[in-house]
Amino acid sequence: MPELPEVETVRRGLAPDMEGALIEKAEARRPDLRFPFPDRFAERLTGQRILALRRRAKYLLADLQGGETLIMHLGMSGSFRIDHGDPVAAAAFHAARGKAAAHDHVMLTLKDGPAIIYNDPRRFGFMTLTATDELDDHALIAHLGVEPTGNAMSADILAQGMAARKSPVKAVLLDQKLIAGLGNIYVCEALWRAQISPRRLARTLVTRGGEPSVRLERLTGEIRSVIAEAIAAGGSSLRDHVQANGELGYFQHTFAAYDREGEPCRHEGCGGLISRIVQSGRSTFYCPRCQR
C-alpha cells in the first residue's frame, strides 16, 4: 500500500494542474470502489473549483469552492494520471504500466486543462465527500496523530506516546494515532538508521521521568530524514506506485533494510546480515547484530 512519501509525491504531481482549476465534468464509471461513492458524487463535483490539494497522512484532500472536501485514498493499486488528450502517449502509458482503460474509474475533466483519471485495478481505494469545516472531525481523519513531516513531531511527542506502551517499538510507530502516514517500509528504514531493534519495547526508549532517551531523539531525526529523502526520490515503486506523470519512484534503490533479507548490513564494521521476522502480520527487516 502506498505510504506517505508516495501519496505526497502524487499530490505534488497533481497540484499544478488541479489547484485553482474548475471541474468542467466529473464522471464515476462504476457505483463504487472499496466503498460506494456518496450520493450524487459526480454531480456534486461538476462545476466546482478546486481551491487546494492537500495531504493528511495517506489521504489526498481536494478542498472545493462549494464548501466540501474530496477525500481520496489510493488503496493497494490506485493511481492518478494526467491526460492531455494525446492518444499515443496514453496508449504508451497503458502498455508500459499495465493500467488498462477498463480500470479508469473516475475522471475529472478540468476546464481549459487536462483530465485527471483515477485508475484502480483492485478497487481497494476510495473517494468520499465531506463538509470542509467538519473535516477534522471526520471518522477517517479525527484519530490521526502528528505528521512526520511537520514541526509537530518531536521526540517529546513520541515519548508521551511510548512511555506506557509495552508493545514493540515497530508496532507503536505504525500506530496512526501516534504518527500519521508512517508505514512499514519507512519504519524499517528509520529503525535501521537509528540502530534500534524493532523488537525493543517502546517504553524502553523513554526515561523514568518521561523524557525521550538519546536513542529516541536519534530515531526522531531518522524518521524525518528517511521520509524527506523518500519524498525527494518520488517514493518507492515496489508494485503499483507510479507518479502522476507515469514515472516510477526510485527510493527503493536505496533501501538499507527493507526487502534485503540475507544481504550484508550496510553499517560500517557491522558484519551482520539483514533478517526478516513477522510482526503483527507484517514483514520486518533489520540487522540483529547492530540494532539493539
Residue 51 lies in a domain: yes
Pair (218, 266) in one structural domain:
yes
In a domain, 189, yes or no: yes
Q: Which of 58, 170, 218, 260 is catalytic?
A: 58
80 and 178 in a single domain? The answer is no
- Pair 264, 275: CB distance under 8 Å: no
pLDDT at 173: 97
| Boundary-marking domain end, from 83, 103, 137 | 137
Q: Is residue 25 annotated as a catalytic residue, yes or no?
A: no
Q: State the catalytic residue, choosing from 54, 123, 200, 282.
A: 282
Query: Which tens digit of pLDDT belongs to each residue from 220-278?
Result: 999 999 999 888 887 654 444 444 454 444 456 688 999 999 999 999 999 999 999 99
Nearest residue to 42 (alpha-carbon basis) of 118, 97, 99: 118
The residue from 137, 170, 191 where one domain ends is 137
Task: Specify if 146 maps to a domain.
Answer: no
114 shares its domain with 224: no
Q: How many folded domains does the chain comprise?
A: 2
Q: What are phi and psi of 68, to 5 degrees?
A: -115, 160
Q: What is the pTM of this model?
A: 0.88
2 given a catalytic annotation? yes
Q: What is the pLDDT of residues 132-151, one digit of tens each?
A: 999 999 999 999 999 999 78
Last residue of a domain, one of 79, 107, 137: 137
Do 69 and 185 lie in one domain? The reply is no
**Active-site residue identified among 2, 5, 148, 168:** 2
Average pLDDT over residues 162-171: 96
Output the domain CATH number for residue 126. 3.20.190.10
**Are 88 and 182 contained in the same domain?**
no
Tens digit of each residue's pLDDT (9 = 90 or more) over 183-196: 999 999 999 999 99
Query: Do 165 and 69 belong to one domain?
Result: no
Which distant-in-sequence residues (6+ apart) come within 8 Å of 41 by Cβ?
A: 26, 28, 127, 129
Active site residue 3: yes
Cell 520486518, located at residue: 284
Same domain, 19 and 121: yes
CATH of the domain at 166: 1.10.8.50
| 125, 73: one domain | yes
Which domain range does residue 86 map to?
4-137
My answer on whether 236 and 280 are in the same domain is yes
